[in-house]
Structure 1
Amino acid sequence: MRIAHVSDSHLANIEGVATSVGTTVGLQRAAGHQVTLHSPGPLSRRRRRPGELPSVPVPTRPYRLALPRLPNAPVDVVHVHTTGPVGIAGLRYAAARSLPVVFTWHTDLIAYAAHYPEVPLGAAYAGLRLGLGWRARALRELARPGPGRDERLFELGRCLLAHMSVLLAPSAKTAESMAPMAGGTPIVTLPTPVAAPLPDADDRRRIRSHLDIPPDAPMLLAVGRASPEKDPELLLGAFAQVRRTLPSARLVLLGVRGNGTALRRTARRLGVDDASHLLQPVPRERVGAYYRAADVLAFASSTDTQGLVLGEAEAYGLPVAMVDDGLATRPGTGSRRPLAVGTSAEFGALLGRLLSDETLRARVVAEGRAAAAAWNGERYLAELTGLYATITRRSAG
């Protein structure tokens, strides 16, 4: 099958969309499909790989802005992953050629619009390119927080779904939130699988030694951006609760790009700055070492659509504590992850139990490993390929 994937996130970016796209493209290529990935690439033509688009870095952001122009090529299905200029170009490309479109909804636009000004700006661009006919009032509403912005983003969501043959939701939570916008567009829940753990290289000792964390000290790990939409203040407050009963505990935040000054200020206010480690992102192949070094993954976010780090941690045998009920059900087996109410006291209590209750810990680890093994790449690829076949037959008919 000839598949064109379209994404505004370049694969070198260390974040969930790029990971999901890279996983899907890799599985399909390994299965023998003819796959092209249209995503931001180097500005120099000589350095770009097939499918990559010329792009420039965005100041203060780990993204690149690409020329939204897709080359003409034989394609059976277009799979779009983002709503930026490249993603919108993919929708328009498919519409002009009457091609079926699969769209994976990776980002909660309404939740992110409160924190990232580029979200409403991108929404304005998307709405205009897709023919929504927004005038000055609509654009002003997008620029300001409030019900007006939410209504416009909802309107854009309906327009986007109207351009799709099927919407893929990476979690039941996301499928439920998108259902009011769907109209006649079917929604299928299809989480991205996580890669199998890399071989152990004495990671626990090495990482702890590097961070000067004693071998027997309880270690909490958070992976990903520590920006406000991920609720790092809740995480730090919960860690302060843990330290009251486990004073030797440490917290490692891996993937901190910005917001570091505010985080350190909060950590000092809570009295945990001496036990908190704020680390820059590392390449994906090195994240597994931190999973092995830690004792619990602390997931404070409630704005994620899947939270790939949850499955990654569980594949490495790391128990997960979280506050988002929408992501508590594991793909694969349907078992439930440990869940707390989103307060520092309740979340801290759950973290403390997972650190100190060996019986609970062993059960959670076993359930997590089983789910990660059950929802594997082979199962995901079979379902996705079957979906492609269905919509291409429908389109041909």
Structure 2
Amino acid sequence: MTAPTLTTRPAAQPGAQAPTRTLRVVHFSDTYLPRRDGVIASLHTLTDALAAVGHDCLTVAPHHRQQPDLPDLLALRALSCGLADLRLLPWPTNAHVEQIAAWRPDLIHVHTPGPVGLLGTFAAQRLGLPVVHTYHTDLHAYAEAYRVPTSAVRLLAKLYARRLGVTAGHCTERGRHGAVDAVNRLLLHDADAVIVPTPAVLSRAALPVPQERVFLVPAAVPPPRGAVRPAEFRDRHGIARPDRMVLFVGRVNREKGVDLLLPAFARILAAEPRARLVLVGAVYERRWLRRLIRRAGVADRVVITGQLAGDQVADAYASADVLAFPSRTDTQGLVLQEAALAGVPSVLADPVLHRTGALGDTTVLADASPAGFAAAVIRLLGDPEAARRQGAAARALALRHTPERYGAAMLDVYRHALAQRRQSGQ
């Protein structure tokens, strides 16, 4: 299999010298449980891996009444923003910084660009701490998908500049992309390290940091805990044993390529009448989804489960014949690794992610059209032995990319950030 091409400076591989003392790292994320997404998954995997080798982590996130009560979580009062179940911190304050300072952190790690991410950047600035950012999300694509007004993004950049004590000259870019670039520059410009999960990020955004401060660290996925129950999953959702199951896992939203998947599934169904499409994930635009399903004419062969707990998602993978991944906005696609660990082959529509992702060409690249995407899925459904080989090859790669490897690589980045701060005398 061809290895992904790396265009950034990668972090050291496991086995490199890790920090010899316990590190205290505060992680900042605008998205957290009970919501489920790739940022949350990679954050949990990372903090578990760090804790397993003796480091302390605190996660700062918006409060939600359905959140679990965790000792390593600082949940801050937040308001619903009315979009995709996100909750927003009203505004980062000095009182927030004092709460973080009381925990005596060594380093700050920012995972998202919202108000909680701004708080992380602001706290690092006020406390004189090294700050590491992970650029998880293709902000330009999301701003386009949700048609976020340029004026709103520009206002956000101006507010961020004011909080960070930066002149408004940073916020003069034209257009929606220019306004997003201004936000990126405000958050990332002074970062000691910026992590990208795949080189695909750099093909979509010009990050405002020198290349020597950009590190490639793909997130890992832990294998499922406990036994999987594919028969129970199929019975629960009315999927017959002979049905060929095409699985989608993720937010069932416009930025995830669902508008490509549904017309493609109509073509799949014409070739494979026993096919079923199972959509696993939160649905935030129900009328939009119903309209797409109605236009495709596939309502009686589509199962919508909504957001599921982790063990039920593992059951879904174990039940599937193919994972359909039509998104062209993802920077990594952790569901690809999850499917691979279950031995399920995946079909992608994003050539950059296919070329640079952690699984290389063990995934199948399809043309980003209904006919092209359908043809790739039909080939796998029509040749179960080839699908099994494809899934086994992907599983072999996924098993090598462990949470321990992910944690070791991230510790190398932290060590770099701490050393840079010491050398600069800050």
Asked if these proteins are the same fold (TM beyond 0.5), I'd say yes
Instruction: Name 1:63's counterpart in structure 2.
Output: 86
The 1-side partners of 2:212 and 2:402 are apart by 27
The 2-side partners of 1:123 and 1:253 are apart by 36
Instruction: Name 1:32's counterpart in structure 2.
Output: 54
The 2-side partners of 1:14 and 1:268 are apart by 27
Judged with a 3 Å threshold, the aligned counterparts in structure 2 of structure 1 residues 134 and 126 are, in CA distance, closer, same or farther, namely: same
Judged with a 3 Å threshold, the aligned counterparts in structure 2 of structure 1 residues 17 and 372 are, in CA distance, closer, same or farther, namely: same
- Aligned 1:292-331 pairs, distance under 5 A: 292-329=318-355
Judged with a 3 Å threshold, the aligned counterparts in structure 2 of structure 1 residues 384 and 180 are, in CA distance, closer, same or farther, namely: closer
The 2-side partners of 1:43 and 1:243 are apart by 41
Judged with a 3 Å threshold, the aligned counterparts in structure 2 of structure 1 residues 225 and 334 are, in CA distance, closer, same or farther, namely: closer
Instruction: Name 2:5's counterpart in structure 1.
Output: none
**Are the aligned partners of 2:354 and 2:360 in contact in 1 as well (CA < 8 Å)?**
no
The CA deviation at 1:179 is: 4.3
The CA deviation at 1:266 is: 2.2
Judged with a 3 Å threshold, the aligned counterparts in structure 2 of structure 1 residues 357 and 122 are, in CA distance, closer, same or farther, namely: farther
Amino acid at match of 2:35: N
**Are the aligned partners of 1:108 and 1:303 in contact in 2 as well (CA < 8 Å)?**
yes
The 2-side partners of 1:51 and 1:271 are apart by 46
Give a deviation string over 1:156-204, Cα, whole Å, max 9, x none.
3233221211110011101343445324662111111001123334x22
2:113 paired residue among 80, 83, 86: 83
**Are the aligned partners of 1:239 and 1:251 in contact in 2 as well (CA < 8 Å)?**
yes
The 1-side partners of 2:164 and 2:317 are apart by 42
Instruction: Name 1:52's counterpart in structure 2.
Output: 75
Give a deviation string over 1:37-68, Cα, whole Å, max 9, x none.
11123589xx6855322233333541222353
- Aligned 1:99-248 pairs, distance under 5 A: 99-116=129-146, 117=148, 120=153, 122-134=156-168, 138=172, 148-179=175-206, 181-183=208-210, 186-201=213-228, 203-248=229-274
The 2-side partners of 1:48 and 1:23 are apart by 15
The CA deviation at 1:148 is: 1.3
**Are the aligned partners of 2:233 and 2:312 in contact in 1 as well (CA < 8 Å)?**
no
Judged with a 3 Å threshold, the aligned counterparts in structure 2 of structure 1 residues 184 and 313 are, in CA distance, closer, same or farther, namely: closer
Unaligned stretches of 5+ in structure 2?
Answer: 1-22
Amino acid at match of 1:8: D
Give a deviation string over 1:4-28, Cα, whole Å, max 9, x none.
1111112332111111111111211
Give a deviation string over 1:129-161, Cα, whole Å, max 9, x none.
3345448x95xx8xxxxx612112123323322
Unaligned stretches of 5+ in structure 1?
Answer: 142-146
Instruction: Name 1:144's counterpart in structure 2.
Output: none
The CA deviation at 1:372 is: 1.0
Judged with a 3 Å threshold, the aligned counterparts in structure 2 of structure 1 residues 334 and 265 are, in CA distance, closer, same or farther, namely: closer
**Are the aligned partners of 2:276 and 2:302 in contact in 1 as well (CA < 8 Å)?**
yes
TM-score (norm 2): 0.84
Amino acid at match of 2:76: L
Amino acid at match of 1:55: A
The 1-side partners of 2:270 and 2:333 are apart by 29
Q: SS state of the match for residue 225, structure 2?
A: coil
Amino acid at match of 2:126: A
Give a deviation string over 1:283-306, Cα, whole Å, max 9, x none.
223210111111111011000111
Identity %: 34
TM-score (norm 1): 0.90
Instruction: Name 2:18's counterpart in structure 1.
Output: none
